[in-house]
A and B are shown apart, each in its own frame.
Chain A
Amino acid sequence: MTSQPSNTASTVKNLENYVTIEHLSFDRDSRAIFTDINIAIPRGKITAIMGPSGTGKTTLLRLMGGQLQPLQGDVVVAGQKINRLSRKELFTARRQMGLMFQANALFTGMSVYDNVAFPLRVHTDFDAPMIEKLVFMKLEAVGLRGAAQLMPSELSGGMARRVALARAIALDPNLMMYDEPFTGQDPISLGVLVKLIKDLNDSLQMTSVIVTHDVHDVLTIADYVYIIGNANVMGHGTAEEMANSDIAEVKQFMQGLPDGPVPFQYPAQDYAKSLLGTD
């Protein structure tokens, strides 16, 4: 059943959640990005966080990763209040998280192999042969074992995205976050990515959070969906519930309607007055 935003907190309590966002508010340059939002990410499931561009989806991931501090409220990951951890504790907690960046964020001075090996070398005491085995396992999982010696500049957009995914799962994180994983991908790469995300989530028993505005592709694999906008959660539920939602904002987003409660135009003075140059 589709839930209204006000019911979110009660939903949170009913699920076994890996991530819980409680009464979170966040401002940027005096502009409210989130106002008292509650989100629960169920353990072992794929949760999609969707919403129009500029609504703070990436910001939400950064709040989950502790890269940003909320104005108020808490981000609880695996029982730890991420926003209240010391720097050292935060860095330790992040070893259980993987984030695939929208821009891939591969280390441009390192080969594909070294990119994937980087977190293993830093956080484990494995010897070189063991690291090699693990790196090739991860690269095999994303279909790029043969590209191990290439440099990031030699990769296509789809390949770079898969290398970023291999690197993000190098330490077998419990929580995997994807920031706009489908943007700019050709249909084949996109299909591969969708399948990879689903397969990895199931085989590694991770909790996955996908931030995207790509409605159709993510709904095929998402177990639960949140739609955010206007600094709030506009609706949440299963993919089917969201697709059939009668909440005006959710309906507008899911069906890609230009007119509705979510404005297309950035706030500005009256267009006619602006053209005529009158106040």
Chain B
Amino acid sequence: MLNALQRLGHNTLTTLGYLGDASAFLVRVLLRLPSRVGEALQDFVRQVYSVGVYSLPIVIVSGVFIGLVVGLQGEHTLSQFGASSALGQLVALSVVRELGPVVTGLLFAGRACSALTAEIGLMKATEQLSSMEMMGVDPLGRIVAPRFWAGLFSMPLLVIIFDAFAIWGGYLISVKVLGIDGGTFWNNMQAGVNFHTDVLNGIYKAIVFGVVATWVAVYQGYACVPTAEGISRATTRTVVYASLAVLGLDFILTALMMGGW
């Protein structure tokens, strides 16, 4: 019993220490202001390309398939109540409120965040971060900060692109395959979706997921044990922690938004 309590106390303290360290890391990253704006902007654009543009294929393909599936499933259920005409509204609401931010968040964690952790971890293992420090250059400002801001910037854009392609997928299956009238599909969608409570709330979620997932990724890379095994473990942890954070935060944010926030 005493041992169990000791273990619990030890684990709690370790977890709190870990969270404290990660939080202090985030604050240090946020406080790093670029001394040369032009160079910082170049770094940022390069990272947006790496984090965001490289994620486009998986986001677009997933978006189309999610739209197709939601359209199929929705029609199957709605037709039982004679409400197939509301399919446009169902697809759009499902996508912009939930599926867009959550699925993009999970894809982002798996595609971009894992790459960020591996890249920073490898830079650490090959002493590139140390060499930067020895040149009087802060790796937090030069390596970590541009990647963090790029992740934060890319995630909402990826969600918007995912939403657009998912709705297009829903349109394809509903109108072109299942024969629902196109005008009805778009009209019901327009009437049933509120820009503020539905679309913007989805974007807010995307921003929060972007911050948390990228934070997890850069921290895991920076703090990893600089060995092959250490980088592998850190990359796995990034995908697991970021994905769980996306799902957990989605519930909290949805509850807050449903509560009238």
Task: Report which A residues bind B (CB closer than 8 A).
Answer: 65, 67, 91-95, 97-99, 101, 103, 105-108, 118-119, 121-123, 171
B130 near A94: Cβ-Cβ < 8 Å = no
Is B131 an interface residue, CB under 8 A from the partner? Answer: yes
Q: B131 contacts which of A93, A95, A99, A122 (Cβ < 8 Å)?
A: A99
- The count of residues in chain B whose C-beta lies closer than 8 Å to any C-beta of chain A is 12
Give the residue name and chain of the B residue nearest to A91 (CB). Answer: B136
Quote the shortest CB–CB distance from B38 to chain A (angstroms): 11
11 extra interface residue pairs, beta carbon distance < 8 Å, beyond A65-B134, A94-B136, A171-B135: A95-B135, A95-B136, A99-B134, A103-B126, A105-B128, A105-B130, A108-B128, A118-B135, A118-B137, A119-B137, A123-B135
Determine chain A's interface SS by DSSP, over half rule.
mixed
Pick the 6 closest A-B CB pairs, nearest first: A105-B131, A105-B127, A94-B136, A91-B136, A99-B134, A95-B136
A108 near B137: Cβ-Cβ < 8 Å = no
For the complex, give the distance between the alpha carbons of A122 and B40 in Å.
11
Residues of B within 8 Å of A118, CB to CB, are: 135, 137
Give the residue name and chain of the A residue nearest to B135 (CB). Answer: A119
Is B133 an interface residue, CB under 8 A from the partner? Answer: yes
Is B39 an interface residue, CB under 8 A from the partner? Answer: yes
A108 near B126: Cβ-Cβ < 8 Å = yes
Residues of A within 8 Å of B181, CB to CB, are: none
Q: Could you name 20 residue pairs across A and B whose Cβ atoms are closer than 8 Å?
A: A65-B133, A91-B133, A91-B137, A93-B136, A94-B133, A94-B135, A95-B135, A99-B134, A101-B130, A105-B128, A106-B128, A107-B128, A108-B126, A108-B128, A118-B135, A118-B137, A119-B137, A121-B39, A122-B136, A171-B135
Is B138 an interface residue, CB under 8 A from the partner? Answer: yes
One digit per residue, 1 when the CB lies within 8 angstroms of any chain A CB and 0 when it does not, for chain B 128-165 equals 10110111111000000000000000000000000000
Residues of B within 8 Å of A171, CB to CB, are: 135
Residues of B within 8 Å of A91, CB to CB, are: 133, 136-138
Give the residue name and chain of the B residue nearest to A102 (CB). Answer: B127
A67 near B133: Cβ-Cβ < 8 Å = yes
For the complex, give the distance between the alpha carbons of A259 and B52 in Å.
60
Quote the shortest CB–CB distance from B116 to chain A (angstroms): 14
Quote the shortest CB–CB distance from B124 to chain A (angstroms): 11
For the complex, give the distance between the alpha carbons of A97 and B137 in Å.
12
